Amino acid sequence: MAKLFAALVAVITIVSTGIFVARTWWLPPDISVVGPSIDSQLVETMVAAGVLFVVSQLTLAVFVWRVSDEKKERPIRRFPGGATPLVVLATALVGVEVLTLSLVGSKIWYNTFLAPVPANALKVDVQAGQFAFYFRYPGPDGTFGTPHPDKIDEGGGNFFGLDPANDIDARDDIVTAELAVPVNRPVLLTMHAKDVIHSFYVPELRLQQDFVPGLVIPLHFTATQVAKTEIVCTQLCGLGHYNMKTYLEVMSQADFDKWLKDQAAAQ
């Protein structure tokens, strides 16, 4: 049984590591500016954790294998050096890793969530609700109309609760069900939720952020490739959570301008 267990641990370790290395299931190609740094951070962590994983699991297997002869008379051997070297090792090893990881990591984190937004960023207002995202472009006047919760009427297509009757800014607002952005142009989303907590997740952008009712949360990104990917909700928001999704279309500036004009015409 002992040897079997040792073998099991070894096999499981090698197989599961193998699948990681083979990248049978791996991240989708990234299309954002922050993406590469996040990926490299992930890979570095993967290597570090992977080594620790293999080494410690195999150590376990080897130790078990070596003591598996229950019957044989054998003097009990203490671990050379006792606990102190292990403590030092763990503290040093993990400590160093912790330090480097969090140093590099915090830089990436800063670029993703804290770095100042370029002035030329395209502003898009996003509202999440059970169970769909809606996006709002300010239109020619460049200003968003004020949303009025009491005017929200999804059946009538007034998802933001705009009041075009009395609010001129609102009249030219362009409301869409998909998010289209020009490639290589910074985008600033102002995120708010109308009912419960939702989340904005685009794996290809390596980007995720919750919508919190009562808060307006800014989120900015820059897409680097023309692509069409999914935007999904990752915060449990009710029975339709699994189907709360829409599309992000990264277009050339020209296509984007055309798209926006078409949308405006349809309003």
- In the region spanning residues 179 to 218, those forming contacts with other proteins, defined by CB under 8 A, are 194-197, 199, 201, 203, 206-215, 217
Interface pick for other proteins out of 56, 117, 253, 258 (rule CB under 8 A): 56
- Does 95 engage in binding with other proteins (CB under 8 A)? yes
- Does 125 engage in binding with other proteins (CB under 8 A)? no
Nearest residue (CB) to other proteins, 4 versus 117: 4
Q: Least Å distance between CB 129 and other proteins?
A: 7
- Does 105 engage in binding with other proteins (CB under 8 A)? yes
State how far the Cα of 94 lies from the Cα of 81, in Å rounded to an integer: 20
Count CB atoms within 10 A of the CB of residue 190.
16
- Does 32 engage in binding with other proteins (CB under 8 A)? no
Single-letter amino acid code for the residue at 143:
T
- Could you give the strand order of the β-sheet that contains 207-211, starting from the edge strand earlier in sequence? 179-182, 245-251, 227-232, 198-202, 207-211
Interface pick for other proteins out of 33, 129, 139, 223 (rule CB under 8 A): 129
Please report which helix (H) or strand (E) contains residue 65, including its range: helix 35-66
Q: By CB under 8 A, how many residues form the interface with other proteins? A: 118
Nearest residue (CB) to other proteins, 51 versus 141: 51
Residues ≥6 apart with Cβ < 8 Å to 207? 32, 34, 112, 200, 201, 219, 221
Residues ≥6 apart with Cβ < 8 Å to 114? none
Token representation of residue 146: 């004020």
State how far the Cα of 247 lies from the Cα of 46, in Å rounded to an integer: 30
Interface pick for other proteins out of 14, 29, 36, 93 (rule CB under 8 A): 93
DSSP 251: E
Interface pick for other proteins out of 14, 36, 91, 168 (rule CB under 8 A): 91
- Does 82 engage in binding with other proteins (CB under 8 A)? yes
Interface residues for other proteins in 34-53 (CB under 8 A)?
37-38, 41-42, 45-46, 48-49, 52-53
Nearest residue (CB) to other proteins, 15 versus 254: 15
Token representation of residue 132: 């769909």
- Does 160 engage in binding with other proteins (CB under 8 A)? no
